[in-house]
Amino acid sequence: MAEFAVSFALQHLGNLLVQEIKLLTNVKTEVESIKRELEFIRSFLRDADERAAEEESAERNGGVISTWVKQVREEAYHIEDVLDEYMLKEAKLPRGSGLIRFLKKLCCIINKLKVCHEIEDIKLSLDDIRRKADSYNFRSIDQRSSSGTGDIVPHDSRVGSYFIPEEEVVGIESTRDKLIGSLVSGTSHRSVFAVVGEGGLGKTTLVGKIYDNDTVKKHFDCRARITVGKEYMKNDLLRAIIRQFYSVKKNDLLTAPVETREMEESHLIETLNEQLKDKCYLLVFDDVWKTQFWGDIEHALIDNNKSSRIIITTRNKDVAYSVPSVNVCPLQPLPSDKAFELFRRKAFGPQGSCPPELEKLSHDILGKCEGLPVAIVAAGGLLSNKNKDALEWKRLRDGLGTQLGRDSHFKDCNRVLLEGYYSLPHHLKSSLLYFGLFPESHSINCARLIRLWIAEGFVPYSNSSTSEQVAEEFLSDLINRSLVQVVKRDSVGRPRVCRVHDLMHEIILRKTDNLGFSTLVNGEGSSRYWKTRRISINGSTDGVLESIKNSKIRSVFLFNIDKMPESFPSALIAGFELIKVLDFEDGPLESLPEGVGNLFHLHYLSVKNTKVKVLPQSIGKLLNLETLNLKCSLVNELPAGIKNLKKLRYLLACGVDSSYNYKTVKVAEGLGSLLDLQKLGYVDANFVVLKELRKLSHLRKLAIKMPNGNEKDLCACIENMEKLESLVISSTSREEILDIESMASPPKCLQRIYLKGNMKKLPNWVFKLKNIVRIVLNLSGLTDDPMRVLQAVPNLLELRLCETYHEEQLHIKEGWFPKLKTLFLVDFKRVESMMIDNGAMPNLESLMIKRCPQLKEIPVGIEHLRNLELLEFHFMLRNIYRMIKDEKWEKVTQHILEVYATFMFAGHVDKVTTKYLSSLSTAHFEAIEQCN
């Protein structure tokens, strides 16, 4: 993290030198000198960071290396603070002529003289840091590269995982047997299998059990097993393979070992090829981290048509897919029943049972482990030595995160989770640590997370990609490394919602506290927050401002707060003028103080889902603002100053009325000056807005409400938006005519469209869109069957239809919707029967049927949807109860993983499985229905 802090400071220094700020000559010289000094220090930081990590792994926190790294990090933060404060003061200088001009000049000189003193102190500190770097013999980046070594990170031997007792092997039996079957049968060509999953899932244990299986031993002429890890040298790896094959030979099939120490790469490859040319071999590479791994060993492992097999275990999907024609075996967390079985065996012995009074506490503890075997074994092992007492178990449940960092039973678990963090490049470390700002188990909207990363400056500028695309790559990298979990994906497969494992969240909290990166503040107040850069206020704002008064806070988040003093926002803004991110989402906020306009460095402001009604006029002073999120607030008009926010990229202005229905926001003239705007919605398409929209050719997402008479002007605007990917057009009501047929050339990038209003037929241009993947229609007046006319859209993945079908039978025919994955049918009020032909919607994964009161029979042919994973019925409780009582129900739905029904119960929406509904007696069901 020190490397990131230094890089960030260097970026600030570079920006200062290229901006149109007239620095005093000596100040500019000193700034350039500091920049050179930081670049020198940064060249040693990766080595220093990794040596500090080794100190931490060896539980030598506070060692000399760690102290040096901390000093570098704090000095980098200090540089950032000095520059931000300097720029803030420059921005505050008065504008005008005469006396005002003289005062401005005087203030400039004083400001720059103060910076001179600050810079002198910084130079002295950096000189001291550099002298210490020399004494610690750090290697620079160039020295590391020339030495030929890989990244040096803490890495413990995984040998112990090969010898897990059989009673602790739970939940991997079917995967083990399936893999063994694939190894000993199939093609005669060399095949590669990759076992992929997050750290602690049992990948090493799985391949160990496979490797030692008697069937496997008998099948292969020779076997070898190598633990690769994060650092290796190619030639050393090849030598290790040769040694392994000689040491695990079968019936002396391999010749006597040769001396490999002096061999060059080509000779090592030739030796392996010669020895394996007529052998059926098995080679296991455990714990692979680098995507170039396969390229390093591919040519040494001959494909001799002897049915040889190679197994790789990795946390990183990119490593697996770097192998051509790889067979990927994703390892999943243990399901709840298997997790409990493993826990029971570890805590109570192979034949033991869990006392009834400890069952709930056991499941609570397992909930925190989230199916991670290494954590389950650690928790069970710790409790096996404790009294079988509810109080003892309660202590572990409530303090599992603390135990993770100090108890010997959790040492392996702690190491496994930390390895993932240590393996990251510095820019991804900061991105992962950002999850510590959100509460445990919190699911995070990916778009929100990406905008926050950009606002924080985590995303570097790229000539070839937008900041959003670069940030998406960061998130994909974290997901592929099995550090971030995807909770929900969109129809294209992109992550929409994500989170981190609860135990990884604990690791992150420890790191963020130690690094001064961020802190979760619980309202109790504590002096330990004084050096933190970001705060997440959870539960209460009491005492928060006092506890952080000496910090240079950059970001503020609110979570789970029901009340806060009216003075809190004003005091927060007045006390911390360097804030970049203010995220009040879901907070008890009713107004924004006028002082918010003084936050010159503010990049991100969200009042989403708050009761804020009016934006202060000072909002027009936020010249660095990139995101303004007013979604689901009570704001109904944007101030004229919005036109000054030239860096604004996201303007999410979809309001709600008193009944929480979506409504548009009025936009003043000048919107067209926001040339960087990427997302705009929800606004009225009046004459003024349409005039401004013509200038916004970079828009990627647009949501607009269309009053009668302006359709042609709107179509002309949209045709000019070549980068548009998402389009929402809504009439003021479903009865109002929506005429958008005049769009001759819709944007070629358009992927998602939502139409609401009265329309006789779908516009012809919809069928020209080759990239369209999502269509949502809420239309009255359609004379054509929308299912029939849309079924041939070539790449359609998601279709949502509301009140757009008026026949009694819905028939989906063979060959229709070849790629569709999601289908929502809402308010099909006349449909009495639904028929699905064999061969229709072959890739459908989710089907939702909502408020279809006449549909009382099981959809005929639903058994043909072999890929269907989720089936939901909403607000048609009597109908679904009737369906599941049909004797055919179990047979035609047994292949569907999840089947749910939602209904109103005592004023709240309830969701239950159909399995639960079917278990209810008629009397019980009728009692529920009466409350419905």
Pair 134, 186 in one domain: no
Last residue of a domain, one of 515, 537, 556: 515
Question: What is the DSSP pairing of strand 650-652 with strand 627-629?
Answer: parallel
Which among 529, 376, 498, 364 is positioned nearest to 431, based on CA atoms? Answer: 498
Amino acid at 635: V
Check: CB of residue 779 under 8 Å from CB of residue 759: yes
Pair 795, 766 in one domain: no
- Give tens-digit pLDDT for 267-299: 999 999 988 999 999 999 999 999 999 999 999
Mean pLDDT of the 501-506 span = 91
Which among 517, 518, 504 is positioned nearest to 559, based on CA atoms? Answer: 518
CATH of residue 884? 3.80.10
Pair 318, 171 in one domain: yes
Average pLDDT, the chain: 85
Mean pLDDT of the 740-752 span = 88
From CA 318, how far away is CA 310, in angstroms rounded? 17
Question: What is the DSSP pairing of strand 222-229 with strand 604-606?
Answer: unpaired
CA dihedral 412, 413, 418, 421 (to 10 degrees): 140
- In sequence order, what DSSP letters do the residues of 67-129 get, joined into one string? HHHHHHHHHHHHHHHHHHHHHHHHHHS---STHHHHHHHHHHHHHHHHHHHHHHHHHHHHHHH
pLDDT at 127 over 80: no
Mean pLDDT of the 68-72 span = 81
From CA 554, how far away is CA 581, in angstroms rounded? 6
Three-state SS annotation for 189-228: CCEEEEEECCCCCCHHHHHHHHHCCHHHHHHCCEEEEEEE
Range in 316-330, 393-407, 786-800, 838-852 the model is least confident about: 393-407
Residues 6+ apart with CB under 8 A from 150: 230, 231, 232, 233, 290
The Cα-based distances of 173 to 8, 343, 348, 414 in angstroms read 48, 16, 21, 26
Pair 102, 119 in one domain: yes
From CA 395, how far away is CA 387, in angstroms rounded? 12
Share of the chain above pLDDT 70, in %: 87
Cα torsion 9, 15, 18, 23: sign: negative
Last residue of a domain, one of 759, 782, 805: 782
Residue 559 lies in a domain: no
pLDDT of 211:
94
Mean pLDDT of the 593-618 span = 94
Which among 287, 4, 9, 322 is positioned nearest to 162, based on CA atoms? Answer: 287
Residue 418 lies in a domain: no
Pair 43, 65 in one domain: yes
Range in 84-93, 170-179, 513-522, 840-849 the model is least confident about: 84-93
Amino acid at 112: K
From CA 331, how far away is CA 107, in angstroms rounded? 63
pLDDT at 721 over 60: yes
From CA 847, how far away is CA 873, in angstroms rounded? 9
From CA 745, how far away is CA 751, in angstroms rounded? 14
pLDDT of 300:
92
37 vs 483 pLDDT, higher one: 483
Residue 480 banded pLDDT, cuts 50, 70, 90: very high
From CA 419, how far away is CA 432, in angstroms rounded? 13
Domain that holds residue 811: 784-932
426 vs 310 pLDDT, higher one: 310
Pair 24, 125 in one domain: yes
pLDDT at 918 over 90: no
The most confident of the ranges 55-59, 544-548, 860-864 is 860-864
772 vs 258 pLDDT, higher one: 772
From CA 225, how far away is CA 213, in angstroms rounded? 14
The Cα-based distances of 146 to 140, 143, 163, 228, 266 in angstroms read 10, 5, 38, 21, 20
Pair 31, 63 in one domain: yes
Residue 157 banded pLDDT, cuts 50, 70, 90: very low
pTM summary value: 0.88
Residue 155 banded pLDDT, cuts 50, 70, 90: very low
CATH of residue 488? 1.10.10.10
Residue 124: CA atoms inside 13 Å, Cβ hemisphere, count? 6
Check: CB of residue 520 under 8 Å from CB of residue 548: no
pLDDT of 290:
93
Pair 163, 139 in one domain: no
pLDDT of 767:
86
Mean pLDDT of the 381-402 span = 83
Share of the chain above pLDDT 90, in %: 48
Three-state SS annotation for 227-271: EEECCCCHHHHHHHHHHHHHHCCCCCCCCCCCCCCCCCHHHHHHH
Last residue of a domain, one of 79, 112, 147: 147
pLDDT at 152 over 90: no
3-class DSSP assignment, residue 818: coil
From CA 364, how far away is CA 457, in angstroms rounded? 38
pLDDT of 687:
80
CA-only gyration radius of the chain, Å: 31
Mean pLDDT of the 10-36 span = 64
Residue 374 lies in a domain: no
Pair 217, 173 in one domain: yes
Check: CB of residue 839 under 8 Å from CB of residue 867: no
Check: CB of residue 536 under 8 Å from CB of residue 438: yes
Query: Where does residue 370 rank: exposed (0-12), middle (13-18), buried (19+ CB within 10 A)?
Result: middle
CATH of residue 211? 3.40.50.300
Tally of domains in the chain: 5
Query: Where does residue 488 rank: exposed (0-12), middle (13-18), buried (19+ CB within 10 A)?
Result: exposed
Residue 406 lies in a domain: no
From CA 176, how far away is CA 508, in angstroms rounded? 32
DSSP code for 765: G
Residues 6+ apart with CB under 8 A from 215: 180, 184
- Give tens-digit pLDDT for 511-555: 898 888 999 887 554 445 567 899 999 998 888 888 888 888 999
pLDDT of 145:
44
Residues in the chain: 932
Residues 6+ apart with CB under 8 A from 752: 725, 726, 727, 772, 773, 774, 775, 776
Pair 326, 208 in one domain: yes
Range in 339-353, 410-424, 647-661, 899-913 the model is least confident about: 647-661
- Give tens-digit pLDDT for 197-231: 999 999 999 999 999 999 999 999 999 999 998 88
Residue 707 lies in a domain: yes
The first and second tokens of residue 470, run together, are 């670069």
pLDDT at 42 over 50: yes
pLDDT of 253:
45
Residue 467 lies in a domain: yes
Pair 773, 794 in one domain: no
Residue 863 banded pLDDT, cuts 50, 70, 90: very high
Residues 6+ apart with CB under 8 A from 777: 754, 755, 756, 762, 786, 800, 801, 802, 804
Pair 209, 312 in one domain: yes
From CA 882, how far away is CA 874, in angstroms rounded? 14
